[in-house]
Amino acid sequence: MNGAESLVRTLVGGGVNIGFANPGTSEMHFVAALDKVEGLRCILCLYEGVATGAADAYYRMTGKPASTLLHLGPGLGNGLSNLHNARKARSGIVNIVGEHAGYHIKHDAPLTSDIEGVARPMSDWVRTARDSQTVAADTALAVQQAFEPRVATLILPIDTAWGDANGPAPVPPPVSRQRVTDDAIAAGARALTRGEPALLLLGGAAVRGKALEWAGRIAAKTGCRLMSESSNARMEGGAGRVRVDVLPFAVDPALAALRPFRHAVLVGAKRPVSFFAYRGKPSVMLPEHCEVTEVAAVDSDLEAALETLAAALDARNTPPAGVASLKRSALPSGKVTPDGVAAVLAALLPENAIVVDESISSGRGFPAVMAGAQPHDWLNIMGGSIGWGLPAAVGAAVAAPERKVIVLEGDGSAMYTLQALWTMARENLDVTVIVFANRSYQVLHAELANLSAGAPVSRALEVLTLDRPHLDWIALAKGHGVEAGRASNLDELAVQFKRGLASRGPYLVELLM
């Protein structure tokens, strides 16, 4: 057995059964080991940012890390953008990155680089295997770190991959989530029962499952308002689930939404801050008169924290507030508007769908409309580094092949990682993509105004618009093996969306805005 085979056997033994790969020469022993070891499905991605984005969403849907296989420092560098998003989402990933043989590095071959230096800014744990005999133990530690969850990067010099190894290593158990203290629970209960306007701000795992139900019971008992962070790694919504308002992304609406509260109790959420700094506007969104009580950090056992808080408030048996009912309104028609698009989605969304949202400017109001849709999961881009949506759809579809995945994607963002379409086609993933073709970086038009930088004129518009030529998403999709159709009004959107939902493979809708 060589080091690469011991690595693969350790991954499989530790519960890592999916890999997203873009390998090169330095990783060929890993590739060869796939024929010797059962249990690791390795999926080819044509760009490293697709591999890392897919691994992010795979973890969000399963709670289990996937591995990536990346080629030396430049390959890892290509994947950093979506590793940034994964860290912000607290997704566990095992990155395997090839390296030159130790004796070859001194010759400064063209692909030689400081791989550890490239890895550290977007990884929580970094290690270079010392020799073939340590590869299995190093892999076991990387898997343990990924289950924490953290982004773990293991660098594998090719001589450690081809050298002799003894066998796989057992993976140590992850450290259990920290429990919330009695004092924190008591402080949260006091803040919610002062008789003043109170907000229960949720994040992380607090916006899904039993945790969300406990939050609804607390709201019913105390009258507090439930709200989530602006972006959530995975949020449950739709009929039969406790409705939670999403904090607006834009500064002024967020300030207005938070202004009434005298108390803010945080469970899995951080103090809300603006995405960027704006001249004359605060960075912290909560008003100065609001007292903040931090009950549980995002890495705590949030379900247990909310259950304990409900018990402290004598709310364990209180029916939860705000449980949404199914509302199937008639399909709208006419001109494309964000509200109209949301209404089409809400009316046609299939039960148990997974919505991957990188619509940026067009879709900010969608979650409020979707409360009356069929029950679904909603995944947001967490780190703000665009080019996440299409890769995330790959990971979500691999994680949950029995569920329909729907991607809401801006045209500018989609161009960063459109190679994901090829992987969707090759793996026949059940994904329907809606590309919002506003033919510009629309969000930047608003940001130009927000920063008081002046109204765009011809030279400014040159770097904000996607025209001359217009992107042809029908041709781009079909060139990657994905069937596609175009919609220019809400009636056509409904037709195209239904066509995508009826397909058992990938389908792309270009929506002209």
The pLDDT of residue 28 is 95
Dihedral sign from CA coordinates of 309, 311, 313, 319: positive
For residue 306, what are the domain limits? 182-312
Does one domain contain both 193 and 69?
no
Total number of domains in the chain: 3
pLDDT of residue 20: 98
Copy the structure tokens of residue 265: 């109790």
For residue 257, the domain's CATH number is 3.40.50.1220
Q: Flag whether 328 is in a domain.
A: no
d(CA 83, CA 56): 8
pLDDT in tens, 71-106: 999 999 999 999 999 999 999 999 999 999 999 999
Question: Under 8 Å CB-to-CB from 228, ≥6 apart: which residues?
Answer: 201, 202, 203, 207, 235, 244, 245, 246, 247, 269
The pLDDT confidence band at residue 177, using thresholds 50, 70 and 90, is confident
Residue 472 within any structural domain of the chain? yes
pLDDT of 174: 85
Q: Does 324 reside within a domain?
A: no
Q: Do 356 and 292 fall within a single domain?
A: no
The 3-class secondary structure across 68-128, one letter per residue, is EEECHHHHHHHHHHHHHHHHHHCCCEEEEEEECCHHHHHHCCCCCCCHHHHHHHHCCEEEE
pLDDT score recorded for residue 295 = 98
- Identify which has the larger pLDDT, 198 or 329: 198
pLDDT of residue 276: 86
- Whether 194 and 271 share a structural domain: yes
Q: Do 215 and 149 share a structural domain?
A: no
Q: What's the predicted TM-score (pTM) here?
A: 0.94
pLDDT at 464: 64
pLDDT at res. 367: 81
Report phi then psi at 267, rounded to 5: -130, 105
Residue 440's pLDDT is what? 56
What is the three-state SS of 417-486?
Answer: CCCHHHHHHHCCCCEEEEEEECCECHHHHHHHHHCCCCCCCHHHHHCCECCCCCCCHHHHHHHCCCEEEE
Q: Is residue 173 part of a domain?
A: no
C-alpha of 205 from chain center = 13
pLDDT, tens only, 308-326? 999 999 999 999 999 999 9
Q: What is the DSSP string of 22-49?
A: ---GGGHHHHHHTTT-SS-EEEE-SSHH
**Nearest by Cα to 51 from 24, 29, 15, 12:** 24
pLDDT in tens, 380-423: 999 999 999 999 999 999 999 999 999 999 999 999 999 999 99
Hey, what amino acid is at 162?
Answer: W
Asked if residue 400 and residue 479 are part of one domain, the reply reads yes
Q: What is the pLDDT of residue 111?
A: 93
pLDDT for residue 441: 55
44-70 per-position pLDDT tens digit: 999 999 999 999 999 999 999 999 999
Same domain, 204 and 149: no
Inside any domain, residue 317:
no
Residue 348, pLDDT > 80, answer: yes
pLDDT class of 459 with cuts at 50, 70, 90: low
Query: What is the edge-to-edge ordering of all strands in the sheet holding 507-512?
Result: 235-237, 376-380, 353-358, 405-410, 431-437, 507-512, 483-487
Say whether both 346 and 477 belong to one domain. Answer: yes
3-class secondary structure, 306: helix
Q: What is the pLDDT of residue 94?
A: 98
Which of 297, 312, 327 is a domain's end point?
A: 312
What per-residue confidence (pLDDT) applies to 392?
A: 98
What is the per-residue pLDDT across 26-38, written as a single tens digit (0 to 9) for each?
999 999 999 999 9
Decide: 202 and 270 in contact? Cβ < 8 Å. no
Burial of 205 (0-12, 13-18, 19+ CB in 10 A): buried
Least Cα distance to 342 among 271, 412, 405, 436 occurs for 436
Query: Mean pLDDT across the stretch 420-435?
Result: 98
Question: Are 256 and 208 part of one and the same domain?
Answer: yes
pLDDT of residue 96: 98
Burial classification of residue 28, based on how many CB atoms lie within 10 Å of its CB (0-12 exposed, 13-18 middle, 19 or more buried)? middle
At residue 360, the pLDDT reads: 76
Is residue 445 scored above 60 in pLDDT? no
pLDDT at 176: 73
241 found inside a domain:
yes
pLDDT exceeds 60 at position 443: no
pLDDT (tens digit per residue) in 108-156: 999 999 999 999 999 999 999 999 999 999 999 999 999 999 999 999 9
* Stretch 329-352: mean pLDDT: 94
**pLDDT averaged over every residue in the chain:** 94
pLDDT at 279: 86
pLDDT in the model for residue 365: 77
Q: Cis bond leading into 157, ω under 30°? A: no
Instruction: Give the pLDDT band of residue 235 (cuts 50, 70, 90).
Output: very high
- Residue 442's pLDDT is 58
Taking residues 366-393, report their average pLDDT. 95
pLDDT of 448 > 80? The answer is no
Q: Are 362 and 410 in contact (CB under 8 A)?
A: yes
Is there a single domain that holds both residue 307 and residue 381? no
Task: Return the structure tokens found at 349.
Answer: 């969304």
Give dist(CA 371, CA 336) in Å, integer: 21
Identify the domain boundary among 278, 312, 346.
Answer: 312
Determine the average pLDDT of the residues in 156-177: 93
Looking at residue 88, what is its pLDDT?
97
The answer to whether residue 170 sits within a structural domain is: no
Give the pLDDT score at 452. Answer: 54
**Residues 156 and 267 occupy one common structural domain:** no
User: Considering the domain boundaries, does residue 332 fall inside one?
Assistant: no
For the chain, percent of residues with pLDDT exceeding 70: 94
Structural contact between residues 438 and 386, judged by C-beta atoms closer than 8 angstroms:
no
The type of residue at 346 is A
* Whether the predicted pLDDT of 461 surpasses 70: no
* Residues 268 and 197 reside in one and the same domain: yes
Check residue 142 and give its pLDDT.
Answer: 98
What is the predicted pLDDT for the residue at 175? 81
Distance CA 178, CA 322 (A): 29
| 8 and 147 inside one domain | yes
Return the CATH number at 143.
3.40.50.970
pLDDT for the residue numbered 447: 59
